[in-house]
Amino acid sequence: MSSLDPHLAQILARLQRLYPMEQAHACFEQLCNAMQTSRSRLATSDNSEQVQQSSPSWSQQDVVLISYGDSIYDASAGMPLQVLDAFLQKHVQDAISHVHLLPFFPYSSDDGFSVIDYLQVDPDLGDWADIAALHKRYKLMFDYVLNHVSRESLWFTDFKANVAPFNQFFIEVDPSTDVSMVVRPRNTPLLVPAYTHAGRKWVWATFSADQIDLNFENPAVLLKMLEVLLFYIEQGAEIVRLDAVAFLWKVLGTPSIHLPQTHEVVKMIRDVMAWVSPNSLVLTETNVPHQENVSYFGAGDEAHLVYQFSLAPLVLHALYRGDGNYLTAWAQDLAAPPPGCNYLNFTASHDGIGLRPVEGLLPEREIEDLIAGMHRQGGYVSMRSRPDGTQSPYEINISLFSAFRETCHGLGPDQWQVDRFICSQLIMLSLQGIPALYIHSLLATVNDQEGVERTGRTRSINRRKWERPYLEALLAREHSPNAKVLKRLVAVLKRRKKHRAFHPDTRQQVLDLGPAFFALWRGLEELKFPLLAVFNLTNDFQNFDLVHQLADLPMVASQNDQWVNLLDQQTYDTAENQLLMAPYQVLWLMPAQIDDVNPLWAMQTD
């Protein structure tokens, strides 16, 4: 292993920026040995393709499905991971490319995000063989919960027993210390008691008393967590999601969020993965205001992928209000990602719909109105503590399908819920980046109020566990919302993957057509046949002027006098001045002479 290797040299330089020279070199030597071992294992394993490609890549065929290992279960048909695999084979097939398995490790709370053992599969879900079986059909995303561990983990047990090296793995703070400057994502105490062999100590716990933060100022902690990362890559993780990474490094007297050391660690993780598995991707999870969020692209040398956190609340707001002005303004100002980087677009996940990502994008009155509207749909709001001791809304907890049950007009539930919901998903699927769909969006799952009552946690409202026979019965009913949504979304995903316009790198140009619409071009200046996506955000019929939109594009207009909506194959002649769009209708318009099933078109790059 040559010390001149650029990735290794970069890793050493980063370690030297984090730790004293002697500690940095000792950590580097051990890390190099671990990296070499993992690289050798990958070269001789079923995952050998991970070390053959020179750099990560993506295409319009990439779509991520987010799911817990037991989001669907059937005790009579095997372990939950096996049931999930069988369900996807039957209903989804190749409409998706990746499965993001939310934490599937033994845990003590927070539905998996309080990890007891990073290296084991929760026996209630299955085992590593089940993960490998799923990996035969789909690429995998793993959660890398690196900020904290469970209070019940062996690491924390050894800390309490003063057993090295784990007696230095956590952050002890005098309870009288002023920690008011620390940015909080929760309204729980930052310091929590731990009863050790040396008496009561107070330790740092950003998220809950059961989730104890690791001390990355200790290089042994970084080394141990990088060994966990290497293990995940060996098990087939093509995307590694860095959970809550913004809070990784702590310095008293600072906000302890987005510190330079945190960014350095993320860059190091990318360097390690580039050397061991060049086509693996780093994804950062930072539920914060937009500019803070995109800072994790670095200069194109940090995260490959950043969650598009502002998208979910802005889409929800636009369709709830029937007004796309704020969504359009944000999308028009959205900077293209650096080369080799991209956005992960999503509208729902296991977490709530974040409100910090619309700070500065939506006025306070609009946020308050949206929260009140979601309360009427059966949702909740989680709070966070501010440095001045007050609390502010952090996220809305609601099933996304239930969130679209009605609009702000006060008329109650209407007949447009499915169409409104599909419109929200097609907005996400149209934007530049890689799309990710939560399994409960694919299944049109409604609020799980029983789950909230059972667990006492508002986030459980969007974490339902479906019993497969019952779910299959719903899907067999052609007119059930579940069947309608699943059928329509799978069909759209299969059609979408054939078009170069949806390649994650194909640029977008967002139009301002007034509050009733959201609209954008994909590939207008780079593809011979660009795509125009238009969305009616209202529950009224709206006139869309296709001729006007093409008037300033003589090359596009002159060569193509007929356009087809890829979603229903209806054609439109440019001689028609107005297209009447139904409530929540979506147009994916391309020149009509293009055969969208032609493999040559699918590969078009010009």
> What residues contact 591, with CB distance under 8 A and at least 6 apart?
529, 559, 560, 562, 563, 564
SS (H, E, C) 320-339: HHCCCHHHHHHHHHCCCCCC
Q: How many other CB atoms are there within 10 angstroms of residue 515's CB atom?
A: 17
**Cα–Cα distances in angstroms (integers) from residue 360 to residues 246, 294, 356, 374, 392, in the given order:** 20, 15, 9, 20, 15
Is 459 annotated as contributing to ligand binding? Answer: yes
Is 495 annotated as contributing to ligand binding? Answer: no
List phi, psi (to 5°) of 363: -60, 155
List phi, psi (to 5°) of 365: -65, -35
Amino acid type, 49: E
Do the beta carbons of residue 47 and residue 234 sit within 8 Å? yes
List phi, psi (to 5°) of 64: -100, 135
DSSP class of 76? G
Nearest-5° Cα angle at 180, 174 to 186: 100
SS (H, E, C) 466-501: EEHHHHHHHHHCCCCHHHHHHHHHHHHHHHHCCCHH
Is 505 annotated as contributing to ligand binding? Answer: no
What are 49's two structure tokens?
């393709």
Is 243 annotated as contributing to ligand binding? Answer: yes
SS (H, E, C) 413-474: CCCCHHHHHHHHHHHHHHCCCEEEEEHHHHCCCCCCHHHHHHHCCHHHHHCCCEEHHHHHHH
SS (H, E, C) 47-74: CHHHHCCCCCCCCCCCCEEEECCCCEEC
Is 242 annotated as contributing to ligand binding? Answer: yes
Task: Please list the helix, strand and coil fractions of the chain in percent, rounded to the nearest 5, in that order.
Answer: 40, 20, 40
**Cα–Cα distances in angstroms (integers) from residue 230 to residues 42, 226, 253, 272, 438, in the given order:** 10, 6, 33, 9, 26
Is 540 annotated as contributing to ligand binding? Answer: no
Q: Alpha-carbon Rg of the chain, whole angstroms?
A: 24
List the catalytic residue out of 74, 130, 213, 243: 243
Q: Is 86 exposed, middle or buried (0-12, 13-18, 19+ CB in 10 A)?
A: middle
What are 28's two structure tokens?
């580097």
**104 closest CA partner among 75, 83, 78, 80:** 80
243: annotated active-site residue: yes
**104 closest CA partner among 85, 133, 84, 124:** 124
> What residues contact 571, with CB distance under 8 A and at least 6 apart?
562, 563, 564, 565, 592
HSE, CB side, 13 Å, CA atoms: give it for residue 440: 27
Q: How many other CB atoms are there within 10 angstroms of residue 123's CB atom?
A: 9
Task: In whole angstroms, give the CA distance from residue 407 to residue 347.
Answer: 17
**Cα–Cα distances in angstroms (integers) from residue 535 to residues 213, 326, 464, 580, 582, in the given order:** 44, 15, 30, 12, 10
Task: In whole angstroms, give the CA distance from residue 57 to residue 534.
Answer: 28
Known binding-site residues for substrate equal 110, 148, 241-243, 350-351, 459
Known binding-site residues equal 110, 148, 241-243, 350-351, 459
Provide the annotated active-site residues: 243
